[in-house]
Chains A and B, each alone.
Chain A
Amino acid sequence: MPSRVIAASYDMSAGLVTQQPSSSRRRRPRLGRLLLIALALAFLGVFLALPLLAVFLQALAMGVGAYLSAISDPMAWAAIKLTLQVAATAVPLNLVFGLAAAWAIAKFNFWGKSALITLIDLPFAVSPVIAGLTFILMFGAHGWFGGYLRAHHIRVVFAVPGIVIATIFVTFPFIARELIPIMQAQGKDDEETALSLGASGWQTFCRVTLPNIRWGLLYGVLLCNARAMGEFGAVSVVSGHVRGLTNTLPLHVEILYNEYNFVGAFAVASLLALLALLTLAGKSFLEWRQPELRHAARGPRDRTRRERT
């Protein structure tokens, strides 16, 4: 609605100032707008909608029966189980970290705070492959702790612990960076009131802070979980690709694809695409519940926006 009003005011002013026949002038903004919308939708259609569509169509290329047998394959199930297991370990650990970091950063002032916020964002600036490499250099056979681990028969790299650690690294900032601005905006008045009324620190956190940040918390968990389940590069480097043992869903997609088992690869990929669609739906729901989350996306720039408002 408002855009129409503005278009009209454009026309009027243009007509007033330039004294041109208004019939040709009135058409142009409308045509231009349609053209821009069409161009934007065409771009999004080719770059976003088509790939998504391709996943599901390729998965069903040989019929529903082939699709169902592909996703009920024992190796696919092992990959699903491992992926859930990895996410169920990495996400809670990053959640606890996010809560601790946000509490310290939002409720207290200390030297080096902005440096700390930058360091928390660091994993976003590192290639996932390099993230994997760091853990090979630490826990691999020739790594810093390689000898110790071998002597005690502990496997980290090319085993599940390595996958979990690499996943924690790449999903490290997600929850903290959602919580920090929200808790900063809320200040500490509520908590101080609770304390002065006799609540303990722990009670204050559980009954005052957590309810205040619940939507932001869910938002962070949602995004963190999506990346944890979908991570490929970092996990690929540390996994060792042992089928049924250290193969997560995205790695399983790669193996099937490289074996030219396209229906299998796209069938497993369709599960991950469904996860992505569910994540987007959940994200939209949370943004509808709490509109401030809308631009809480990854850009550090959004933090500057919050500080401004």
Chain B
Amino acid sequence: MMDTRATPIELEFHKPRPVLPGFKMTLGYTMAYLSLLVLIPLSAVFIRSLGLGWDHFWEIVTDPRVVASLRLSFGASLIAASINALFGLLVAWVLVRYTFPFRRLIDAIVDLPFALPTAVAGIALTSLYAPNGWLGAALRPLGIKVAYTPLGIVVALTFIGLPFVVRTLQPVLEDLDREVEQAAATLGASAAQAFVRVVLPALWPAMLTGFALAFARAVGEYGSVIFIAGNMPMKSEIAPLLIVTKLEQYDYAGATAIAVVMLVLSFALMLGINALQNWTLSRHGAR
């Protein structure tokens, strides 16, 4: 930071720094737009659920079908985010550390799940994993059914969450000082030992963040899942789908109650991510 209040002599020759205009206008517009389009609509869900009364609310969210859908949504998301963490680390590592043909192209393709509309991903994955699809037919002799089972949900959620882990790990891997690994190798560590003892600890925070982002996205995902899931109540019906089903039956109370549970869990997750980042930041700052 330059100190412009330097000396009284300078002040005589330089005009004081001009004040940028537009603060009140832009902040006012930002607040108004944010409130109208995000904050008030979201508060509508909470206020509506207050009108249900605690007993009615509890009755809805402890209904076996609701519990099963929430368990499926969060469980499948947990598995998918774990797969993403593992393979995301592999993909990020290979993209950052090695050179091979078409590396830039493959790096660009990693973002495909962000760019491809979820409905398109949904029907494409279903056609691949259906019993007569390319992959479904190959897996059938092994006794593995993917489409129209919870396994299909995990596949769709893995697709959706893949870029999060790769993109959070890449910058950290690029920053990572390779001399530390070389030092470990010089001291007699094998490549695997150097990775586990030296590289992995530095990647943990970013991996956790990527995992959490992929998980958060997966929990709310709808478009890519409904085609491949089969949507059987109690078995392969995710929570967002149950909200839609209840809305179609004009059961606004039911839809609102499930939405509140999902929102509370998602916000808790988001706060967790923020705390994680502050922790990461303080660790990096300390270095």
Residues of A within 8 A of B (CB): 1, 3, 6, 9-10, 13-14, 17-18, 28-29, 32-33, 36-37, 39-41, 43-44, 46-52, 54-55, 58, 96-97, 99-101, 103-105, 107-108, 110, 116, 118-131, 133-138, 140, 142-144, 165, 168-169, 172, 188, 191-192, 195-196, 201, 204-205, 223, 226, 229-233, 236-237, 249-251, 253-254, 257, 262, 265-266, 269, 272-273, 275-277, 279-281, 283-284, 295, 297-302, 304-305, 307-308
Scoring B22, B164, B187 by chain A CB atoms within 10 A of each residue's CB, the highest score goes to: B22
* A301 in contact with B280 given A10-B182, A100-B29, A128-B222 (CB within 8 Å): yes
The 3 closest A-B pairs by CB, nearest first: A127-B220, A230-B117, A232-B223
Bound-complex Cα distance A97 to B33 (A): 7
Asked whether, in the complex, the Cβ of B121 is within 8 Å of the Cβ of A51, the reply is yes
Bound-complex Cα distance A272 to B112 (A): 12
Report B-chain residues with C-beta under 8 Å of the C-beta of A143.
Answer: 44
Bound-complex Cα distance A97 to B37 (A): 11
Asked whether, in the complex, the Cβ of B123 is within 8 Å of the Cβ of A266, the reply is yes
Asked whether, in the complex, the Cβ of B116 is within 8 Å of the Cβ of A273, the reply is yes
Q: Is B263 an interface residue (CB 8 A)?
A: yes
Q: Can you list, as one digit per residue, whether each of B163-176 has a CB less than 8 Å from chain A (1) or not (0)?
A: 11001101100000
Bound-complex Cα distance A188 to B112 (A): 36
Asked whether, in the complex, the Cβ of A280 is within 8 Å of the Cβ of B191, the reply is no
Bound-complex Cα distance A55 to B159 (A): 15
Bound-complex Cα distance A201 to B40 (A): 32
Bound-complex Cα distance A29 to B97 (A): 13
Instruction: Enumerate 21 A-B pairs (CB-CB under 8 Å) in ascending A order.
Output: A29-B191, A54-B127, A100-B29, A100-B30, A104-B27, A120-B34, A123-B38, A125-B216, A125-B266, A127-B262, A133-B45, A133-B255, A137-B45, A196-B18, A232-B117, A233-B222, A272-B116, A275-B117, A299-B168, A301-B210, A308-B281
Q: Is B17 an interface residue (CB 8 A)?
A: yes
Partner of A39 from the list B90, B135, B178 (CB cut-off 8 Å) is B90
Report B-chain residues with C-beta under 8 Å of the C-beta of A116.
Answer: 30, 34
Asked whether, in the complex, the Cβ of B120 is within 8 Å of the Cβ of A273, the reply is yes
Report B-chain residues with C-beta under 8 Å of the C-beta of A279.
Answer: 115
Report A-chain residues with C-beta under 8 Å of the C-beta of B168.
Answer: 299, 301-302
Report B-chain residues with C-beta under 8 Å of the C-beta of A123.
Answer: 38
Asked whether, in the complex, the Cβ of A133 is within 8 Å of the Cβ of B256, the reply is yes
* A283 in contact with B243 given A36-B90, A44-B91, A129-B220 (CB within 8 Å): no
Q: A43-B90, A44-B110, A280-B112 are in contact. List 7 more A-B contacts (CB 8 A).
A: A6-B182, A36-B93, A52-B124, A125-B266, A127-B262, A129-B244, A172-B38
Scoring B93, B158, B220 by chain A CB atoms within 10 A of each residue's CB, the highest score goes to: B220
Asked whether, in the complex, the Cβ of B125 is within 8 Å of the Cβ of A51, the reply is yes
Q: Look across to chain A and name the residue whose beta carbon is closest to the beta carbon of B214.
A: A299
Partner of B158 from the list A13, A47, A307 (CB cut-off 8 Å) is A47
Asked whether, in the complex, the Cβ of B38 is within 8 Å of the Cβ of A3, the reply is no
Asked whether, in the complex, the Cβ of B20 is within 8 Å of the Cβ of A195, the reply is yes
Q: Is B106 an interface residue (CB 8 A)?
A: yes
Q: Can you list, as one digit per residue, whether each of B245-271 has a CB less than 8 Å from chain A (1) or not (0)?
A: 001000010011001001100110110
Partner of B128 from the list A9, A32, A50, A101 (CB cut-off 8 Å) is A50
Q: How many Å from the CB of B162 to the closest CB on chain A? A: 6
Q: Is B186 an interface residue (CB 8 A)?
A: yes
Q: Is B42 an interface residue (CB 8 A)?
A: yes
Residue count of chain B within 8 Å CB distance of chain A:
108
Q: Look across to chain B and name the residue whose beta carbon is closest to the beta carbon of A270.
A: B120
Bound-complex Cα distance A188 to B93 (A): 37
Asked whether, in the complex, the Cβ of B240 is within 8 Å of the Cβ of A10, the reply is no
Asked whether, in the complex, the Cβ of B178 is within 8 Å of the Cβ of A301, the reply is no
Partner of B123 from the list A43, A100, A257 (CB cut-off 8 Å) is A257
Bound-complex Cα distance A284 to B110 (A): 11
Q: How many Å from the CB of B155 to the closest CB on chain A? A: 8
Q: Look across to chain A and name the residue whose beta carbon is closest to the beta carbon of B15.
A: A196
Report A-chain residues with C-beta under 8 Å of the C-beta of B15.
Answer: 196
Partner of B29 from the list A9, A97, A205 (CB cut-off 8 Å) is A97
Report A-chain residues with C-beta under 8 Å of the C-beta of B190.
Answer: 14
Report A-chain residues with C-beta under 8 Å of the C-beta of B162.
Answer: 47-48
Q: How many Å from the CB of A222 to the closest CB on chain B? A: 9
